[in-house]
Chain A
Amino acid sequence: MEQKDIIYLDHAATTPVKPAVLEKMLPWFSQNYGNPSSTIYGLGRTTHEAVEGARETVAGCLGAKKEEIFFTGCGTEADNWAIRGCAYANRKKGSHIITTAMEHHAVLHTCMQLEKEGFSVTYLKPDAEGLIQPKAVEQAIRPDTVLITVMFANNEIGTIQPIAEIGKIARTHGILFHTDAVQAVGSVPVEVESLQVDMLSLSAHKFYGPKGVGALYVRKGIRPDIFMQGGAQERGRRGGTENIAGIVGLATALELACKNMDETMKCIAEKRDYLIERVLESIPYSRLNGHRTKRLPGNANFSFQYIEGESLLIWLDLNGIAASSGSACTSGSLDPSHVLLSIGLPHEIAHGSLRLTLGEETTKEQLDYVVEKLTNTVEKLRQMSPLYEAVQKG
């Protein structure tokens, strides 16, 4: 099958770089290649200005100040830096961190590592719809709590957390608050002041920018320990020669995403709702995972009873559809997705999950085709499932 014929429904994994973004990036490889630290000559001043211009753009999109934006190598690095940096910097004050059981591994594994280093971590469980209750965050606060980190929107089930309410609680208690907004930035409005977040991670390739570049917003006055030691780049707080083309690409993509956000959100959410309705009405023993409306515009996550997710993905791939699952078989581990388990799904239902994440280019016609293939495939797999046989025979 030709690449162009693929129906790509895995935008939560990554997105294609928009041609307009790529075009802006190209001059920063061979043409303007100066080191932004070499401002003594023109070539260096040009790239320095490009990086600083991009910083200003990103700050503008988030309602932040220019000097609060730090470029990183990816979203994972931003998460690591924020969490470890704050934990280490505040070690004398306390060693307790509050997070959730449904975080991305960039946060979860970082917290687990900190536990090994002597920190204690509370992992809040979301409710059955995948939401974290702000009250639960407040109740988890201890005198030695130094950091709260709660993801803005979940990468698997797309639920959007009440970040502003949690931010208010954190600020009231004088505790640093970080949010992993990798799935949210570029998809929904994110404005750091009203959210009262102290740190926020983002990643370019989730909003039609390039891979290999992210950013961390760090509110003025907060100083997480340095994660990447090196030169004076990023005001001495993140060493390493800047990925100029990547940074320009990140800023361009974010600017484009924010420009038409309301319209794009509405358009994608409409298609998502259409997909959800059609799937739930076409396929028996199916359910939607995550809150029906408090979710990312492009995210639909289903479970189909009596079948296993990887088999489903292979058949979808054979039909030219790229999707993802929380089944153990696709994660390379024995357990299904920790996110699906955290909302209380039994293992066997979590194994039969399917994540379809829509993008700007997704069409209704594509979704009709997907529903048709999905319905047939689920039925085919059920016909050979001993679990389904047992149900049908009662």
Chain B
Amino acid sequence: MQRRRLATAIALFACGFSASSYADWWEQGTLNGPSQSDIGGVGLMQMPTGRMAREGEFSFTYYDNEEYRRWALSLQLFPWLETTIRYNDVRTKLYSQVPEFSGDQTYKDRGIDIKLRLLEESLWLPELSVGVRDLAGTGYFAGEFIAGSKRIGPFDLTLGMGWGYLGTRDNLSNPFCEVSDSFCDRPSGLTGTGGDFEVDKWFKGDSAIFGGVEYQTPWQPLRLKVEFDGNDYSRDRAGVPIKQDSPWNYGAEYAFNDNLKLKLSYERGNTWMFGFTFRLNFDDAQQLKVDKPPRPAQPTKTQSVDDLRGEQAGQALAKNMADEAGFNVNRYGLSNDGKVLTLYGGQRKYRNQQEALERSGRVLASEVPDSIETYELIDQSYDMELGGYRFDADTFKTAIARADLTTQPEDAIERIEARQTEAVGDWLYNPMFEVGMPNYALKPFLEQSVGGPEDFFMYQIGLENAVSWSLADNFNIYGRVGVNLTNNFDKFNYLVEGGEPAIPRVRTYVREYVTMSDVWLDNLQATWANQLSPNWYQSLYGGYLERMFGGVGGEILYRPLDSNLAIGLNVAYARQRSFENHFGFRDYDVVTGHLTAYWKTQFLEDSLITVSAGRFLAKDLGVNINFQHEFDSGIIAGAYASFTDVSSEDFGEGSFTKGFYISIPFDMFSIKPSVGRGAIAWSPLTRDGGQMLGRVNSLYGITSRRSND
């Protein structure tokens, strides 16, 4: 009797509870997207699948077993590209055998994975992806794979082939070995000091078939997984032998809610493992805003342009424009025929430019006489005219009053090249520049370094006091004083082997700088900027440019309106700041500079590639490449790398400078609109090669309104 009940329960569990829910279950499949593997990135448990997550999907996965703890951040950068950063804590092995260097810290291995989609799933073909694991690391877990996944109802079937760490089972001969003998054996050891891409090892040596199934149970929160592992752990470097009793791994994933998934698995036929994945989507992330509603359509308050003339009228209009549209008016005037009102200033509140424009137009429509037929808003920065928008007043008023059935506010707005101030015939409001009070901002900061030998997580928490003071329309002084609250950077004990460094130490005195004082002058920079012509801009700057260098420099930028391409040249004389006193300098100096191309690609939407070629701080020559992608929420994810003539041996561990960052709009955490941003950066190791001079107020940033986005 009991057996029959059990059988019925199993049948219901497997088939659902009614014909319609059965259909729903069968069709829904892995409705909420594919799940993350044990080690981060979409996959089964140890093995990857051919699946990609939804674009913008960001997840943090923690997984734990006897030998390893893993922390992985995975980001679906494009629908066809998955990127993963991971730390492996090898619990059975010390970081080094030198206690003075790393204490009792266990070995930490960092790695980067990428996975590219080759084919989207179709009627007959699976979703097919190729990937490389533990790229640019020490190679402990390096492996490559090709995997295809095909869904049939609630079952997602995967079959793949792995090389390196994913192919140690060696149950199928490497097909590339048939093509070329060079693929038959996998080179051992590391190129340089680790951190290189090790392309010469890819798809070489032993290979194995792997596969598995991800099954969506009728109970929506629960998924089950089975996989055949391509790794037999015979070449694992955990410091202790890892025994595998079975190549089959079994796992379950329970969705606690939309963001948190709990994982449990029984792997290798003898080991329980557990973990969790926390996820969110960078495209969807948003925050409700509390803001003044856009001004409703209403008759204008003014009858004559004289009502807009003078200090008092100007300040009143400027206040309303700032409060309701985020546009700070510097001055405004009329064209000679009295039909065009041009306002100069800058929008500093809304990330959504269309929203800001519509709000501006609504204010003007009710504060400017009807005799004015055109409004122009010109974005200024450092008194330079960057670009503008022209409103056809009648069309705009028709749209916001819904005075017909078809006109929309955007029909009235046109993007224009900036009207130079000389074109204004009658200045209605043109206050002389007055040196006002400096703007002051106080905010907390967290500086961090993850995965160092001295301590896994090194940090500094403090307060940043920033002051910005404009002494002329086009001259600004910016200073920042840091106050330490707490840090553990005193553990940082980077030593140059053999005493004499191979290249100048431009960044590795970080411990000295951090521990010098609890209060320090981070930077104090004066910047002057000027517009040479509509497309050409120049600036000069000088002072304490960053924590480690001071100097003087100049920059020139060519940036056509709304162009995908801009080019700049920046040259500076920089001298290393002292870490023994607040204002002094050390002996080391350098002339550094780069020719930089800024390219907003058309083939990768919402992405900017910056390529800077020139001389770096350690006098090394080379190129820095920076890639960043902006998601719908405004979050920017970026990566950079420098390749210079410093050899990987001279560079030290890591082989070359590289890093990642995420820039988060402040207004994601605020109910008030804002254009401010904060960044979280991650650099595997800080070394001296390929380092660029830091500074504030670069011309590309100052002229950001040359682009309409």
Q: Decide whether A and B are members of one complex.
A: no
Chain A residues engaging chain B, CB cutoff 8 angstroms:
none
